[in-house]
Amino acid sequence: MIQELRSQFPILQRYVHGGKPLVYLDNAATTQKPQSVIDAISNFYTTSNANAHRGGHALGAEATALYEGARSTVAEFLHAQHDSIVFTRGATESLNLLAVSIERTYGARLAGKSIVVSEMEHHANIVPWQLLCERTGADLRVIRVTDDGSLDMEHALEHIDESCAVVSIVHMSNVLGTINDVQTVCARAKELGAIAIVDGSQYVVHHDVNVAEIGCDAYVFSGHKLYAPFGIGVLCGRYEFLAELEPYQTGGAMIDRVSFEKTTYGEPPVRFEAGTPNIEGAIGLGAAIKWLSGLDRDAIRTKEHSLAKNLVEGLESDSRVRILGKRHALNGIVSLVVDGIHAHDLGVLMDEQGVAVRTGHHCAMPLMQRFGVGSTLRASLAAYSSREDVDAFLHAFSKSCRMLG
C-alpha cells in the first residue's frame, strides 16, 4: 500500500547530492504534492484558464465553476457551509486578515481588553495580535506550556476571563506535535463573549476537522502543508461572525457598489477576497482534499503514530538526545536537541546523506525560550512516510552525531 501511495508523488522518486535517495522528513514545513494535484493545476491552464467571477464567456464560466467547486470541497472537508470559506494566501494571511478586520470592526472597544494566545504559537499567531495590541491598547496574555509540552489548561481557563476579546490557539503544535483541547478553550471563550480562533495548520493534515464541533468562530490553515500548492490557504469563519467583520483588503471583486461618494461591500466570502484570487491554488487545494479523502485516514494516522514511535525509540538509545514534549511526538512531529551538538550542524550532515529535516526555531521563538534552547532538529511525518525513511533518518542521525563528536 505504501509503495503505491509513494508512487503517486513524482518527487519522492528522485535523488539528491549526487545519487542519495531523497528521504523527506520536513513535512511540517511543507508536504510534497501528488500527481493528481499537479495534474489539476496543469489541466486548468491547459483547458480552462480565465479569470473567475469576471468574464461572461465559456472559459470564464468554467474557471468560476472550478474555483467555487474548490470552495465547496473545502467546506465539506471542514463540515462548514460554502460561504464560510474564504480563500487566502495561507494561514499567515488568514490570521492577519482576522487581526486587521477585528481591529477595524471593534476598534476603540478593544482598549483595555485582552487577547489570549499560548506559548506554543507559531509567529503567525503571535505577531498580528501583538501589533493589534500595540495599536489598540489591548493586552496580550500568554497561556503557559507545561514541562512536558502540554498546554496548561488550568492556566488557560484562568486567563480567559471577562476582559478577553479574542482567544487564538494552535490546534497542533508545529514544534512539539501537541494536540490541544481547543473545544474546551473555545467553549470557555464563547461563554465569556470572546472571539475564538483556531490555527489548524498542522492538525488538519492528520485529522478530520468539524468546525461546528470545535465551536470556534474561525479556523485557519495553509494549503501547502496539506499536499496542495503554495499561495493558497483557508479562513473558515462562522458565517454570522464573518458577516459582522469589516474587510481586510479592498478593491475589485469585494464590493457591492462603488461611487466616489460611497462604497458598499459584498457579503462574505467575497468581501474578504479583493482582487483576482489564486484560482489555480484553490483548484489544487480542492484536488488535494479529494486525494486525501480517498485514503483511509485512520490507517494513515495509525501508521504515522507507529513510525513516530520507531523514531522516538531509535533516538532514545543515545542518552545525549532530549526530545521536546516527548509524549506528544507520537503525533508525527519529533523535535530534539543533542547535548553538545548544534542542531544546524547535524541538519547539514544529515542533508548530505539525503535526509531532509528542519533545523532552527521553527517560527516559534517564545517556545524555544520556554524550553531554554535556541533551535531544534525536527523530523515530521506525512501520509507517504515509510519505515525506510525512519531507518534512514536514524542511520544518518547516529552517523552525524558520531562525526560531530
Q: Residue 33 or residue 224: which is nearer to ligand PMP going by CB?
A: 224
Give the H or E element holding residue 4: helix 2-7
Residue 199 binds to ligand PMP (criterion: CB under 6 A): yes
Residue 128 binds to ligand PMP (criterion: CB under 6 A): no
Residue 48 binds to ligand PMP (criterion: CB under 6 A): no
Task: Determine the size of the site formed for ligand PMP (CB under 6 A).
Answer: 14
What residues contact 84, with CB distance under 8 A and at least 6 apart? 75, 211, 236, 237, 238, 239, 242, 268, 269
Site for ligand PMP in 323-382 (CB under 6 A): 363
Place of cell 476537522: 209
Smallest distance, ligand PMP to C-beta of residue 291, A: 19
Name which position in 64, 84, 201, 278 contacts ligand PMP (CB under 6 A): 201
Q: Is the Cβ–Cβ distance between 55 and 276 less than 8 Å?
A: no
Q: Residue 347 or residue 354: which is nearer to ligand PMP going by CB?
A: 347
Q: Residue 219 or residue 291: which is nearer to ligand PMP going by CB?
A: 219
Smallest distance, ligand PMP to C-beta of residue 137, A: 26
Q: Residue 170 or residue 321: which is nearer to ligand PMP going by CB?
A: 170
Name which position in 124, 166, 341, 396 contacts ligand PMP (CB under 6 A): 124
What residues contact 313, with CB distance under 8 A and at least 6 apart? none
Stretch that binds ligand PMP, among 13-21, 62-70, 88-96, 133-141 (CB under 6 A): 88-96
Residue 218 binds to ligand PMP (criterion: CB under 6 A): no
Q: Residue 228 or residue 346: which is nearer to ligand PMP going by CB?
A: 228
Q: Is the Cβ–Cβ distance between 89 and 231 less than 8 Å?
A: yes
Smallest distance, ligand PMP to C-beta of residue 233, A: 6
**Residue by residue, what is the 3-state secondary structure of 86-149?**
EEECCHHHHHHHHHHHHHHHHHHHHCCCEEEEECCCCHHHCHHHHHHHHHHCCEEEEECECCCC
Strands (E) located in 286-382: 321-323, 333-338, 355-356, 358-360, 376-380
Residue 170 binds to ligand PMP (criterion: CB under 6 A): yes
Smallest distance, ligand PMP to C-beta of residue 92, A: 3
Residue 281 binds to ligand PMP (criterion: CB under 6 A): no
Residue 222 binds to ligand PMP (criterion: CB under 6 A): yes
Backbone angles phi, psi at 122, to 5 degrees: -70, 150
Q: Given phi > 0 = left and psi -120 to 50 = alpha, else beta, which region is 259?
A: beta
Strands (E) located in 161-244: 164-170, 195-199, 218-222, 233-237
Q: Residue 200 or residue 286: which is nearer to ligand PMP going by CB?
A: 200
Nearest to 201 by CA among 185, 181, 222: 222
Give the H or E element holding residue 16: strand 15-16
Q: Residue 113 or residue 378: which is nearer to ligand PMP going by CB?
A: 378
Smallest distance, ligand PMP to C-beta of residue 191, A: 25
Q: Is the Cβ–Cβ distance between 138 and 195 less than 8 Å?
A: no
String marking each residue 102-121 x if it binds ligand PMP according to CB under 6 A? --------------------
Stretch that binds ligand PMP, among 38-46, 87-95, 309-317, 344-352 (CB under 6 A): 87-95
* Count of alpha carbons within 13 angstroms of residue 163, beta-carbon side: 13
Active site residue 363: yes
Catalytic residue among 186, 216, 363, 401: 363
Q: Residue 73 or residue 174: which is nearer to ligand PMP going by CB?
A: 174
Q: Which amino acid is at 141?
A: R
Grid coordinates of 390: 525512519
Residue 174 binds to ligand PMP (criterion: CB under 6 A): yes
Task: Locate all alpha helices (DSSP H) within 192-238, ordered by sequence.
Answer: 203-206, 211-214
Q: Which amino acid is at 324?
A: L
Residue 122 binds to ligand PMP (criterion: CB under 6 A): yes
Q: Catalytic residues, which ones? A: 363
**Residues of the shown chain interacting with ligand PMP in the complex, contacts defined by CB under 6 A:** 90-92, 122, 124-125, 170, 174, 199, 201-202, 222, 224, 363
